[in-house]
Structure 1
Amino acid sequence: MTTDTAEAVRHFAAKLRFETDPSDVKAAIDAGERFVLVDSRGPAAWRQGRVAGAVHLPTAEIAERASSIVPVGVPVVVYCWGPGCNGSTRAALAFSLLGYEVSEMIGGFEYWAREGLPVVDDEGLVERAPDPLTAPVAAIDCAC
């Protein structure tokens, strides 16, 4: 198997430029970085549970409502359900078409919740233990 190293470098560098993951988003929140975290799922999913501090803007409404919720020039991180859903990719595209700097949180809400990160629903904070298949149980992060 032959590999074009330069092409591989471009590919993986682009992925890291436009994708992030739940633990990196949590670290950015904790560090006070300036961005808006957008939950692009529909109303029923939002009510069921969401990332604490996220704003709700379903993908179908981004073109019409984004500028009233997210100031132009503020970076955006979008998420949807999880790795089996491409809703966050569609949301990232919609924000990109409007000129926003945008990243997609890979793993989505599923991996945020499975890693034991802060989740809220309409009743308040939802306590979840980290899933040992998705996050280290006895460490701060996976050190990857």
Structure 2
Amino acid sequence: MTNALRFPAADPDQAAKFFEAELAFEADPDDVYRDMQDNNTHGYVLVETRSAEAFAQARIPGAINLPYRDLPDQLDLDPNLVYICYCESFQCNAATKGALALARRGFKVKRLAGGITAWKSAGYPVDTDVQTLAGVSKVACHC
């Protein structure tokens, strides 16, 4: 028996339910970018969950900054929207922590797969605050 099939594949109905549930928790950078190109981002907001310094250095256009470490108990956010959280990359879990904090406050959330690293690797644009960055050293994850 092969290593890959040592554990049998799930029944197709179970697999469909599993993968559908998984997609309920993540958004794809390509889908978000296509929405931006179509001017159709209605229903969700991108949330950068890293620090304000990381947000100033590079962020996805239109994103808001809610650092997960500093989230207040009360947030002035629309409860009808979905908040798509992102951080640095798959190696960072600030988006997961931010999404958890927002979900615990009653908001609908997803996580952007791969974070801003996947976004930039795909060649998609980022915004920066050039004037804020004067004299600031490059920030890595800075969660």
Cα offsets for 1:16-74 (capped at 9, x unmatched): 11101111112233324221110000122112111111000001223435x22x22222
Residue of 103, 106, 118 corresponding to 2:110: 103
Q: Please say which of residues 9-18 and 74-83 is displaced more in the overlay.
A: 9-18
Where does residue 49 of structure 1 map in the other structure? Answer: 58
What code does the residue aligned with 1:86 have? N
Q: Distance in 1 between matches of 2:22 and 2:100?
A: 14
What code does the residue aligned with 1:48 have? Q
Are the structure 2 counterparts of residues 63 and 10 from structure 1 closer, same or farther at C-alpha, using a change threshold of 3 Å? farther
- Residue 25 of structure 2 corresponds to residue 18 of structure 1: yes
Percent sequence identity over aligned pairs: 31
Residue of 50, 58, 67 corresponding to 1:58: 67
SS at match of 2:127: strand
Aligned-residue Cα RMSD (Å) equals 1.8
Q: Distance in 2 between matches of 1:32 and 1:48?
A: 23
Residue of 27, 30, 37 corresponding to 2:46: 37
Given that residues 73 and 105 in structure 2 are in contact (C-alpha distance below 8 angstroms), is that contact kept between their aligned partners in structure 1? Answer: no
- Greater RCO (Cα-Cα under 8 Å, separation 6 or more): 2
What code does the residue aligned with 2:113 have? I
Q: TM-score, structure 2 length as denominator?
A: 0.76
